[in-house]
Amino acid sequence: MLNFAGQLINLFAAMLLLISFAMLSQRRVLSLINLFALQGLVLAVSTTVVAYSSNQHHLYYSAGLTLLLKVLVLPWILHRLIRKLNVKWDVETMFNIPTTMLVGIVLVVFAFNLAAPISQMAGTITRGTLGIAMACVLLSFLMMITRSKAVPQVIGFLAMENGLFFAATSTSYGMPMVVELGIALDVLIGMFILGIFFFQIRETFDSLDLKHMEKLKED
pLDDT tens by residue, 2-30: 577 778 888 898 999 999 999 988 888 88
> Model confidence at 105, in pLDDT bands (50, 70, 90)?
very high
Pairwise pLDDT comparison (47 vs 204), residue with the higher score? 47
Instruction: Say how many Å lie between the first and final Cα of the chain, rounded.
Output: 63
Average pLDDT in the chain = 76
Q: Can you give the pLDDT at residue 165?
A: 84
> Model confidence at 189, in pLDDT bands (50, 70, 90)?
low
Q: Which residues pair with 93 in a beta bridge?
A: 147
> Model confidence at 219, in pLDDT bands (50, 70, 90)?
very low
Give one DSSP letter per residue of 102-147, joined into a string. Answer: HHHHHHHHHHHHHHHHHHHH--STTGGGHHHHHHHHHHHHHHHHHB
* 33 CA to centre of own chain: 11
Long-range Cβ contacts of 151-156 (<8 Å, 24+ apart): 151/29, 151/78, 151/81, 151/82, 151/85, 151/87, 151/90, 151/198, 151/208, 152/29, 152/32, 152/90, 153/210, 154/78, 154/191, 154/194, 155/23, 155/29, 155/32, 155/33, 155/36, 155/78, 156/23
CA distance 42 to 11: 10
Amino acid identity, position 207 = S
CA distance 89 to 191: 20
Q: Can you give the pLDDT at residue 178?
A: 46
Q: Which residues pair with 209 in a beta bridge?
A: 149
pLDDT tops 90 at residue 42: yes
Q: What is the mean pLDDT of residues 67-86?
A: 83
Q: Can you give the pLDDT at residue 216?
A: 44
